Amino acid sequence: MSETIIFYLLSGLAIGASALVIGQRNPMYSVMLLIASFGALAALYIQLDAPFVAVAQIIIYAGAIMVLFLFVVMLLNAPQEDAAEWDQLHPLRQRGVARFGAILAALLVVQLAWALFEIAEYEAPVGGQADAAAVSSVRELGRVLFERHAFAFEATSILILVAMVGAVVLARKEGPLS
Amino acid sequence: MDLRFAVQLGIIGFIFFMLINASAILVLAERKVMGFMQQRYGPYLVGPWGLLQPLADIVKLLMKEELRPRGADKWLFTLAPILSVTAAFAAFATVPVGAETTFFGLLDEPVKLGAADVNVGVLVVFAITSMGVYGIVLAGWSSNSKYSLMGGLRASAQMISYELAYATSLAAVILLAGSLSIREVVDAQAGFWYQIVPRWYVFLQPIGFIIYVIAGVAETNRAPFDFPEAEQELVAGYNTEYSSVRFALFPQAEYINMATMSAVATDLYLGGWHGIPLLDEYGLSWVTFLLKVGLLLFTYIWVRWTVPRYRYDQLMSFGWKWLFPASVINLLVTAAVVLYFNV
């Protein structure tokens, strides 16, 4: 019983924080709320007996990626997203774009609902006969990642490498290297 | 409520209490050691040998007025020190401090000395330590002051850079022990080679240990890497605008982080509570642990008052061009050796 209560509390926190991320006008607050949302998700993973996934979530998202977000927001000293003139004239503010976005959002909600109903029909958890013990075992997780999903894993790492090289090329100043 | 649960709660409470005290003891130790190194007395007026000096400091800070700059962000300015100190306390949650004990036969079943025993303990420590940077960054940003902002920016850049080397050097130890649980890593270091040399990982991982200690100093923003609060350039860095209790929380977080760094180094490299068989027999394994942690903490303070501060660009190039590649090579060599001999 208490598990159910904790589950709904944490999910409520995650959803509420995520909703506020969009609602905030101050980018700094958005970043902090996103971290709170990640924290709630990590707590949910712990409740599902997957401490490794929870810790990985915190290390990668809350500990590394969001620090970079914060860093960028601070470096750019992003202003409050108030109704400044440049903001009103922003191409994304046009009517057509907004409508397109609304349609996409509605589609996403429908898709999510459909996926949830589909999943309810499956008995076995994703990943074959993985039970709670296997999910929490780092060894098993590594085996699945490097044996069954080896190609996807390597392809993802190459993708990230390409993005990294691209970022360096974009950031590098023009002209001969000093 | 059964006895086991009550005892566990007691242990958690005691560790929390000791961590609070650790910051007070470290403040005094730092000033005493500094005084000794600079050939003066250090604090000596309040209480015998100045022992009550930390108490006087705390009372003074409590009495001070809490100031908040007008341009500061109200919520984040308050949140920042709380985040800092919470992360510092929480990071100690999975650090074991002693072997299983029955408290000299008082309990029927032995209990584990430590707040919590998680099978991914090393990662938990790492995850929560990496959250500590938010307190400093937010303090720097929300103060609405150029010195604070520069301090916060430096802190985030520095911590991101050194976390890599820090985590990679930890990974080599995890490879050797074959477990992510700190308690299992410690127990893998029990016993002696040839009856003399303790089986500590520091002897198998000397480079990893040095990298860990250097990265640890940088992670806790201690001299010679204390750029977020470099006095000559940034007044006091990220905590320039803070006063009273809110200010006190930052140094407290720093000292608790130091204690955590030293405790983790003791557990992962220096054999934790193993090493003095005589104390083990009497169920006093935690004394061994405390001795090692104290030695490492003294080294921290020693380094602070001996090594001058680097330049900021030197710190960055050292972290990325030397420390990180060294830790990666260390990890690869360790992995190759483990693969060749064990599997």
DSSP string, B143-168: TT-HHHHHHHHHHHHHHHHHHHHHHH
Residues 34 through 63 of chain A touching chain B, CB cutoff 8 Å? 35, 51-52, 55-56, 58-59, 62-63
A31 contacts: CB under 8 Å, gap ≥ 6: A66, A69, A70, A73
Q: Please give the single-letter amino acid code of residue B249.
A: L
Query: B107 near B7, Cβ under 8 Å?
Result: yes
Helix axes A27-47, B121-142, angle to 10 degrees: 160
Please identify every stretch of chain B with a pLDDT value under 70, giving residue numbers as ranges: 1, 102-109, 228-232, 279, 283, 343
DSSP assignment letter at A148: I
State the alpha helices, DSSP H only, in A24-149: 27-47, 51-57, 66-76, 85-88, 95-119, 132-136, 138-143
> Are A58 and B134 an interchain contact pair (Cβ–Cβ within 8 Å)?
no
**Cβ(B95)–Cβ(A30) under 8 Å?**
no
B245 Cβ contact partners less than 8 Å away, ≥ 6 residues apart: B61, B62, B66
Q: What is the pLDDT along chain A (178 residues), one digit of tens a residue?
A: 788 888 899 999 999 998 888 887 778 888 888 888 998 998 888 888 778 888 888 888 887 788 888 877 777 765 555 555 555 666 666 777 878 888 999 999 999 998 888 776 655 554 444 555 555 677 777 888 888 888 888 999 999 999 989 888 887 766 665 4
**pLDDT value at residue B230:** 66
Q: What is the mean pLDDT of chain A?
A: 79
Cβ contacts (< 8 Å) between A50 and chain B: which residues?
none
In this complex, is the C-beta atom of A74 within 8 Å of any C-beta atom belonging to chain B?
A: yes
Cα separation, B212 vs B171, whole angstroms = 11
- Measured from the Cβ of residue B341, the count of other Cβ atoms closer than 10 Å reads 7
Domain definitions of chain B by residue range: 3-342
C-alpha closest to that of B238 among B136, B311, B309, B134 = B136
pTM of the model: 0.80
**Bridging pattern class, strands B197-198 and B192-193:** antiparallel
Beta carbons of A55 and B131 less than 8 Å apart: no
Predicted confidence at residue B274, as pLDDT, reads 79
Q: Do B131 and A58 touch (CB under 8 A)?
A: yes
* Interface of chain B toward chain A, CB-CB under 8 angstroms: 73, 75-76, 79, 118-120, 123-124, 126-128, 130-131, 133-134, 137-138, 140-142, 149, 152-153, 156-157, 159-160, 163, 180
CA distance B58 to chain A (A): 30
Are A28 and B128 a contacting pair at CB < 8 A? no
Q: Whose structure tokens read 């990496």? A: B130
CA-nearest residue of chain A to B162? A64
Assess contact for B68 and B77: CB atoms under 8 A. yes
Q: What is the pLDDT of residue A109?
A: 92
User: Is B137 in Cβ contact with A67 (below 8 Å)?
Assistant: yes
Q: Name the minimum distance, in Å, from the CA of B341 to any CA of chain A.
A: 19
8 Å CB contact of B73 and A28: yes
Contact check, Cβ <8 Å, B157/A71: yes
Q: What is residue B240's three-state secondary structure?
A: coil
Beta-carbon separation of A74 and B149 below 8 A: yes
* Residue B231 neighbours by CB distance under 10 Å: 10
Of chain A, the end-to-end C-alpha distance in Å amounts to: 65
Instruction: Closest CB to A55: pick one of B73, B76, B123.
Output: B123
Instruction: Please give the distance of CA B260 from its chain centroid, rounded to a whole number.
Output: 3
Residues B181 and B117: beta-carbon distance below 8 Å: yes
| Inter-chain touch A52–B73, beta carbons under 8 Å | no
**pLDDT recorded at residue B215:** 87
pLDDT at residue number A111:
92
Q: Which of B284, B287, B251, B283 is nearest to B266 (CA)?
A: B287
> Considering only CA atoms, which of A38, A100, A99 is closest in space to residue A66?
A38
Question: What number of C-beta contacts closer than 8 Å exist between A and B?
Answer: 71
DSSP E strand stretches across chain B: 96-101, 111-114, 192-193, 197-198
Q: Mutation test of the interface with chain B: which of A26, A29, A55, A76, choosing the one with the most B Cβ atoms within 10 A?
A: A55
**Which residues in chain A have their CB less than 8 angstroms from residue B123's CB?**
52, 55-56, 59
- State how far the Cα of A64 lies from the Cα of B256, in Å rounded to an integer: 22
Q: Would you call A144 helix, strand, or coil by DSSP?
A: helix
Asked whether B161 and B314 are in contact (CB, 8 A), the reply is: no
Encode pLDDT of A108-153 as tens digits: 999 999 888 877 665 555 444 455 555 567 777 788 888 888 888 8
Between CA B47 and CA B53, with CA B52 as vertex, the angle to 5 degrees is 110
- Tell me the pairing of strands B192-193 and B96-101: unpaired
Please name the amino acid found at residue B41. Answer: Y
